[in-house]
Amino acid sequence: MKKEGEIRIPSGCAIAAVISKEGKRMNGDGIVRSMVPMHERSNGLGGGFAAYGIYPQYRDFYAFHLFFDSRDVRKDCEAFLRERFEIVHAERMPTRKIPQITDEPMIWRYFLAPLPSAVAAMQVDEKEYVMRTVMQINSEKNGCYVFSSGKNMGCFKAVGYPEDVGEFYRLDEYEGYCWTAHGRYPTNTPGWWGGAHPFSLLDASVVHNGEISSYDANRRFIEMFGYHCTLQTDTEVITYIMDYLLRRKGLTLQEAAAVIAAPFWSTIEAKTDAREREQYAFLRMVFPSLLVTGPFSIVFAFDGGLMALNDRLKLRSMVVGEKDDKVFIASEESAIRVMAPDAENIWSPAGGEPVIVRVKEGAKL
Amino acid sequence: MNELYITPEFEVVRNENRCIACRVCERQCANEVHSFDETRGVLRSDEIRCVNCQRCVSLCPTHALKIVKNNCTLRENANWQNATIKEIYKQANTGGVLLSSMGNPKPMPVYWDKILINASQVTNPPIDPLREPMETRVFLGKKPDVLRRGADGKLLTDLEPQLSLSMPVMFSAMSYGSISYNAHASLAAAAEALGILYNTGEGGLHEDFYRYGANTIVQVASGRFGVYEDYLNAGAAIEIKMGQGAKPGIGGHLPGAKIVGDVSRTRMIPEGTDAISPAPHHDIYSIEDLRQLVYSLKEATDYKKPVIVKVAAVHNIAAIASGVARSGADIIAIDGFRGGTGAAPTRIRDHVGIPIELALAAVDQRLRDEGIRNNVSLVVGGSIRSAADVVKAVALGADACYIATAALLALGCHLCRTCQSGKCNWGIATQRADLVKRLNPEIGKERLCNLMTAWRHEIMEIMGGMGINSIETLRGNRLMLRGIGLSEKELSILGIMHAGE
């Protein structure tokens, strides 16, 4: 049977997220519990979390989380990393042995500082340098996989139900200002841990519920620009699309949303503001291959904020709620009620309407 | 002498009980197959002249006629087949190159028919085009590498010139001269009504059709017939014809008999002279020369028109297309070896070039591998026969398709493949006034609009089934395709998996 990455495995899912607009840290317990009422939306074949603001003591270093198949692979990969980075700190990922999570690979994390001479030699900026390193490891090195590579953030994922994954990774011991979560329902046999969500590159991470019909059109386009879709998942390609649009092309979040969940031409033409009409039409004409069709609800998290977005027909459920300084997003309201029983302003964003939440300026993250 | 040893290919079967000797068949047949025997009061047939265009059959008021394959054949021989032997007789009779028209009729593989399309089940909902928006609009042209912003932070929205199409289909090049005034009038009016484009071909643009400029692609071929400043500026885009799928490596040839009246004026050559396009453009012997012509045309039109470079699908098409994509062209049109023609040497039509499906797949992948797919749009033709072919072409990577044979069929063509004779009984591939008037441009336009509207509905149904609601996300979406009965090599060139995988 083919492993994930060699074959495309569609999946349905549950997602949840919480962010403090004040930048206040919350421990991971809340988000882990929020996944419990949505248990039926997963099938135990993948769960995961992304957390922002969890490594303040290493905030200037790229935090790499890696899966290894064996000790030899790890040694080899560490040698590779050492040629490109100063390894500020390396350790085995702290985990809790529980019966629900088995067959784990070796999981390590590294805090890395790119070697300035190597960055200069490649004639790219630091982020591009890190991105290329991640692509190289994931597409060329067998038996190891980088599943998190941002600063002061981290992804934690495994094969299992999300609430078990949270316990396995001891997320109750982390404090972050923004959390996203994912429970997976793949329609095929589980691949391996790398196939779980969130999917992450640099500071950005994506949790996604849906199966996009545009996958291969998006993949074949984005692969022109140095991205390698090694997992063949929707989430992976959406992550790369966002990286390309935001970091490489300099689009704003709203503009990126207008590319991937573009308004229909009829909607654009009905806009009364000519400037606005021109902007939307321009984005559709320039990035037709990055339109994403088919059902999706995603939470795209980044350094200092997140964006929730539904496909333009709203073929997947997604609700938003608020309480005090916190904003919650989930596939079902029940998940929000776990995190905040008295959450207010519960609403369903329209298809293609991005919900963007940023931590207020000046907050120390 | 020319007919020595040649037996009629068809038999005219006339049901004498039904025939009322109205002589419609006689009047309708420009090939003069039918004649009236005054003494006996019956119609007779000279079948050696019959091309099986079905005109007489269609118009016979009592359905007394049918044209069947002549079953008087030579002794069967798998190696020396009937057609092969008759071609030898013809050449021995005349000493000439064999001429043919329309697309390659040989039983070569049609890859469209070996590709199957996906649909959504369970994990992803199909979308109902009757109830939800379904977008088929495409833009052809270069996409920018760098985005710029104004002082207000808004994106600057100026783009290289783009063509907007309501659906990913255009009418391909057919010159005025090779086809009639009324055929051109039908194509131009239909393109305008549909929001797509038609293509003048290499014969210039009749003055009556300048008003359809926004829906016109003007072609510049190696003969440069009818090319001057106003012509270049008249259309929405300019196409440089480097080659044609039906006859790669040679130029067009319109016999002097067709260069009459308006055709002569439009082509800007004297009446009765043969219009022979050189095999190459004599100012293009290499890729760097092509770049100069592309930019000459852009200069002449103030950089307002996208330039299309049309090439025939030949063995090295991926590398050629890569060169063209770097030559300043905005759009590459690739014409497959099954594409049609008004006249081509039979040997070239039937033996030169490669199928469009393989050429398209190879070119799209090559341009992506080189990271330059965004520099150009890809248009493919030769031959696209149905909405399913369009969907498969787009999923393989085409931005749009060119159709010509299908459009002529809509106008009444019965694919008798003798356009070169100039005696088209359907008023399409002829300049004889009495024949041309048989094609009513109003009806022709309506039939073309019907055909395209039907295809658009079918495209939307198929897209909806896949859970796709915009043609943009079908483009290059090869995961939506599977091969059936194809070898590993064919699958790898097409970049698709086999059914069941």
Same structural domain for residues B81 and B147? Answer: no
Q: Does the reported pTM lie above 0.90?
A: yes
Active site residues of A: 13
User: B467: which chain A residues are within 8 Å (Cβ-Cβ)?
Assistant: 213, 293-295
In-domain check, residue B131: no
- B2 has a pLDDT exceeding 70: no
Residue B127 in any domain: the answer is no
**Distance (Å) from the C-alpha of residue B115 to the closest C-alpha of chain A?**
17
Domains of chain A: 11-211+295-358 (3.60.20.10)
In a domain, B145, yes or no: yes
Mean pLDDT for chain B?
A: 95
Measured N-to-C along each axis, helices B356-369 and B317-325 cross at an angle, to the nearest 10 degrees, of 50
Residue A216 is nearest to which of B132, B157, B478, comparing CB atoms? B478
Q: Are residues B385 and B471 in the same domain?
A: yes
Whether the per-residue pLDDT at A249 is higher than 60: the answer is: yes
For the stretch A169-183, pLDDT in tens is 999 999 999 999 998
Residues of A in contact with B143 (CB under 8 A): 285-287
Which of A223, A279, A291 is the closest to B473 by Cβ?
A291
DSSP code of B301? T
Using the predicted structure, report yes or no on whether residue B80 has a pLDDT greater than 60: yes
Least confident piece of the model among A233-237, B149-153, B326-330: A233-237
> Which two structure tokens, joined as six digits, stand for B228?
């001057």
Inter-residue contact B236 to B139 (CB < 8 Å): no
Residues of chain A above pLDDT 90, percent? 82
How many CB pairs lie under 8 A apart between chains A and B? 109
B62 with B174, same domain: the answer is no
For B54, phi and psi rounded to 5 degrees? 70, 10
Round to whole Å and give the CA distance between A200 and B488: 35
Identify the domain boundary among B34, B64, B96: B96
What's the mean pLDDT in A180-196? 77
Contact B468 A187 (CB under 8 A): no
B380, B278: one domain: yes
pLDDT score of A41: 83
Does one domain contain both B396 and B461? yes
Q: What is the mean pLDDT of chain A?
A: 92
Lowest model confidence (mean pLDDT) among B68-82, B177-191, B299-313, B392-406: B68-82
Minimum distance, in Å, between the CA of residue A90 and any CA atom of chain B: 37
- Under an 8 A CB cutoff, do A286 and B469 touch? no
Q: Is A106 on the interface with B (CB under 8 A)?
A: no
At B1 the pLDDT is: 47
Give percent above pLDDT 70 in chain B. Answer: 100
Q: How far is the C-alpha of A142 from the C-alpha of A68, rounded, in Å?
A: 9
> Does residue B74 sit in the same domain as residue B17?
yes
What are residue A338's phi and psi, to 5 degrees?
Answer: -65, -45
3-state secondary structure of B334: strand
**What is the reported pLDDT for A326?**
97
pLDDT in tens, B154-211: 999 999 999 999 999 999 999 999 999 999 999 999 999 999 999 999 999 999 999 9
- Residues above pLDDT 90, as percent of chain B: 94
Sign for the CA dihedral angle at B326, B328, B332, B337 comes to negative
Q: Do A187 and B122 touch (CB under 8 A)?
A: yes
Average pLDDT, integer, range B314-325: 97
What is the reported pLDDT for A31? 95
Q: Are residues B342 and B431 in the same domain?
A: yes
Nearest to B310 by CA among B417, B407, B218: B218
Q: Is the pLDDT of residue B406 over 80?
A: yes
Of B40, B73, B96, the one marking the end of a domain is B96
Q: How many Å apart are CA A355 and CA A358, to the nearest integer?
A: 10
- Among candidates A359, A358, A252, which has minimal Cα distance to B153? A252
Tell me which residue in B133, B469, B476 faces A289 most closely, judged by beta carbons: B476
Q: Give residue B253's pLDDT.
A: 84
Q: Which of B96, B124, B150 is the last residue of a domain?
A: B96
CA distance A7 to chain B (A): 9
Domain assignment present for residue B4? The answer is no
Stretch 229-258 of chain A: residues touching chain B, C-beta under 8 Å: 249-251, 255
* Count of domains forming chain B: 2
Which pLDDT value is given to residue A362? 85
Contact criterion met (CB < 8 Å) for B125 and A215: no
Residue B151 has pLDDT above 60, yes or no: yes
* pLDDT of A5 strictly over 80: no
Q: Give the closest of A211, A275, A291 to B123, CB-based.
A: A211
Residue with tokens 């052809």: B140
Domain limits at B261? Answer: 138-498
Same-domain pairing of B89 and B144: no
**Model confidence over A98-145: pLDDT tens digits?**
999 998 999 999 999 999 999 999 999 999 999 999 999 999 999 999
Q: B19 and B166: one domain?
A: no
pLDDT at A225 over 90: yes
**Helix, strand, coil percent values for chain A (each to nearest 5):** 35, 30, 35
Identify the three-state secondary structure at position A48: strand
Q: Look at B154 and A10 and tell me if their CB atoms are within 8 Å.
A: no
| A216 chain-B contacts, CB cut-off 8 A | 476-480
Yes or no, beta carbons of B159 and A315 under 8 Å apart: no
Establish if B461 belongs to a structural domain.
yes
Q: Do A282 and B157 touch (CB under 8 A)?
A: yes
pLDDT, residue A231, reads 78
Would the CB atoms of A249 and B127 count as touching at under 8 Å?
no
Q: What is the dihedral of CA A119, A125, A130, A131, to 10 degrees?
A: -140
CA B81, chain centre distance (Å): 29
For the stretch A48-79, pLDDT in tens is 999 999 999 999 999 999 999 999 999 999 99
- Do residue B155 and residue A288 have CB atoms under 8 angstroms apart? no
Given a cut of 90, whether residue A251 has pLDDT beyond it is yes
**Residue A188 or residue A155, greater confidence:** A155
Is residue B80 domain-shared with residue B149, that is, in the same domain?
Answer: no
Residue of A nearest to B146 (CA): A249
Supply the ipTM of this predicted assembly: 0.92
Is residue B114, in this structure, part of any structural domain at all?
A: no
Are A293 and B479 within 8 A, CB to CB? no
Which positions in chain B touch A286 (Cβ < 8 Å)? 143-144, 147, 159
Residue A188 has pLDDT above 70, yes or no: no
Residues 61-90 of chain A whose Cβ lies under 8 A from any Cβ of chain B: none
Q: Is residue B1 part of a domain?
A: no
pLDDT score recorded for residue A211: 85
CATH of the domain at B232: 3.20.20.70
A201: which strand partners? A204
Within this chain, do residues B228 and B295 fall inside the same structural domain, yes or no? yes
pLDDT of residue A185: 78
Same domain, B89 and B176: no
Whether B296 shows a pLDDT value over 70: the answer reads yes
User: Which residue in B has a C-alpha nearest to residue A215's C-alpha?
Assistant: B477
CATH code (residue B21): 3.30.70.20
User: Which chain B positions have a beta carbon within 8 Å of A210's beta carbon?
Assistant: 124
Q: Are A283 and A259 in contact (CB under 8 A)?
A: yes
Residue B112 belongs to some domain of the structure: no
Contacts of B98 (CB under 8 A, 6+ apart): B87, B90, B91, B345, B346, B347
